Amino acid sequence: MRRLSAVKTEMEQQELEVFVITNIANIAYLTGYTGKTGKDVQALIVSVKNEEPTFITRRQDVPGARHFMFIDSNRVIGYPEDLVANPNPLKDEWDAVTDLLLDNGFGHRRIGIEMKILAFPVVEKFRKRMPNARFIDFDWINWVRASNPISRSL
């Protein structure tokens, strides 16, 4: 929880209300979960208003995530399998992530995302689906991990 607290402190300093973490190394650093299925979308949603983050992943990966993560099992959400490799290019796993953000009232907020690792169409999807949100490139965790290796726990 100390690592998560440090991230939330930095989020508050940057005036971010939510941070969408998609880098699996950063997800593992904050939660201990190391599962990754190919190119399937996984996102850890950290909000300054919620004590625990929410994790969204492919539905088939939910049991493993619930087993290995410290967060409440109700905060591990599986998106429908029909979004995986959906032939409709306008509907995919990222829609589940944006739906989760919208459902939680973040459609008009400052949202941190790891722009350097997201493909341009993904960032554009976020912007298009949430036109009133302000997206900020927030890659602070990589700096923290580099400065505070796991042996010197944050």
DSSP 138: -
pLDDT for 40 equals 86
pLDDT for 25 equals 86
Q: Please state, in angstroms and as integers, the Cα–Cα distance from residue 123 to each residue in 35, 88, 120, following that order.
A: 23, 18, 5
Q: Which CATH class is domain 2-152?
A: alpha beta
pLDDT for 114 equals 92
Contacts of 148 (CB under 8 A, 6+ apart): 154
pLDDT for 75 equals 96
DSSP E strand stretches across 38-133: 43-47, 54-58, 76-79, 110-113
Spans in the chain with pLDDT lower than 70? 37-38, 140-154
Distance CA 142, CA 134 (A): 22
pLDDT for 90 equals 80
Residue spans per domain, the chain: 2-152
- The pTM (predicted TM-score) of the whole model is 0.88
